[in-house]
Structure 1
């Protein structure tokens, strides 16, 4: 900043002061670089820094720009008094600092499969803050005695630079043209301000609301009403247990044992009513208040840390899947509570509706949802509604040929 201001306002550099500042900056940068290297050594990451990957190359470019080159230029007294050397050292340090921020917030995220790009709002706010700071600095510089010699208006010396014209001195053309120009400028400023204050929530949907699920209530008969809206379903739990094979049948529905639990309830994993839920709590496993596990406990050092390359949960939780369960778990992004309930119940109901005598209506909605058939349905839809293989979660297309021969979707 000092070098730039001195150039703009044609002020001689105070090399003695800049030399002292350069020496102090050199010490700070050297300490910073030493701390970075010590931290890498403590973490045992020196091998990664020299593995020849593009990540290590970016790291060393950052270190050279941020620490190496500035320290080399500022450690020699003669170079600290040289204006080109000061320009090069400060520019290198600023570029290195920018690369450091870019590495942390953007470049290194590529290996996780995510890419962060700042929004237009973030860019404009950052530029606005920077511009405001520069304007405040220039205002103080021009209005107060920052230098020993009072600053002179460059317009009084035509040979001085830079030279800024006042807006009143700018000719905008004839009055008609000037009026259109001014009004256009007002419109652009007003439009920019309006777009800046518009909430993004009004433009982009936040998606489906994440409604938490509550546990089913009851004893032998459970009332399943996950979102507590009063339109739940009565489920004869004890009757199903006896019909399907007593306690050995529990695994037909309860297909996971969460840690310190047996035959975990549906709501523990399918914890969102209409949206999927992440069953694996990564933050809890890594938190000192949780499992306090290091990254290496689940991730290999030579592979990128992703869900695909991590250890399987059952490697540690040996009884995660009870013996005899028919549900295969391929990932831990649990379906919504609604989809899970319908998927588990409808599959069995559809099968029994086709095989059991007198149970033809078992797969119809009203069998569980005691609301009856809607008062009016178009004839072509009503036929599907009465059919035993109808999946009420998704109304089938009217013109779908041969749908009854296909396996119903759950």
Structure 2
């Protein structure tokens, strides 16, 4: 492979982020983080009750355009509870994508659900509405207003598309298809804070959605997540479930259902409040870096991933898609050897031992992205200074 473009990219990274080893992610706290942490310590409210938790929730709700936001300890916990709130029960099936981070499938497993994988679109790297409709047409039947898998007899209780690397999927089409079949949509928007579909924030198209504020995300609370929804009853129940299902009382401890100790501590929320103050600046910076990457890759033969027309990607990670695994491995070796970190996309969920027996649709596009055991899409972060149960009858991975 001609390394001229790679040398130019490395030079751009060095010009933007400095010398030494450049990690894929590095949170930077250059705003009010320290002051807000001190305020929490002085208030003695450092755990899951405090003013900063409420403030952070209000900030996220306002930014995304959601009516309600409920803060959790991490994005996986948020998705676990969101699935329960959407009506997913043990033994149900949930449709998702094999090209995703492990947390998506782990949350499904915590809920006792069986993942079913449909293919992605190459231009979004997220769930394909065409593949979803094809799968449902071939496998689903409606009984008393609910969708069931004819092959397994299980109820299809939810659909969980994920906005890969912050690039919005065709969520409007996905939501419309799911509505036809009576399947609730739970958006995994963990990576897409600041991404929009025709001016509307991701995470606002389904019944509810989840966000992540892990240390590698666009903004971070160290560890943290959020459930967002427009449904007041769901929001109230979400807060109740994530607070160990404790009935409010000045001193009695009474719990009325199985709940979870999932609420975000006030200390973490304080970081989030400070990070939210700088989010517009962060997103603008990341967008500028992406423009420079796009200019460098133009005409190079390397595909630089872009959002669909009319959509805005937050550029949580920038991605390039290569023609072969050999090209991918060469780029990974070349950049990392020069102190600029790149990495492959995740291994397909259908190729992991605990999910390899899950039903899927062949995953043609996902398998191209997934390679034989790795993945040819290589990513670069755009903001470093800031920073199963499965059905064995349904067929193993065929790729």
How does the TM-score come out when normalised to structure 1?
0.19
Task: Report 1 or 2 for greater relative contact order, CA contacts < 8 Å, sequence distance ≥ 6.
Answer: 2
Structure possessing the higher radius of gyration over alpha carbons: 1
TM-score by length of 2: 0.20
Higher share of residues assigned strand: 2
User: If each structure's helix is expressed as a fraction of its own residues, which one has the higher value?
Assistant: 1
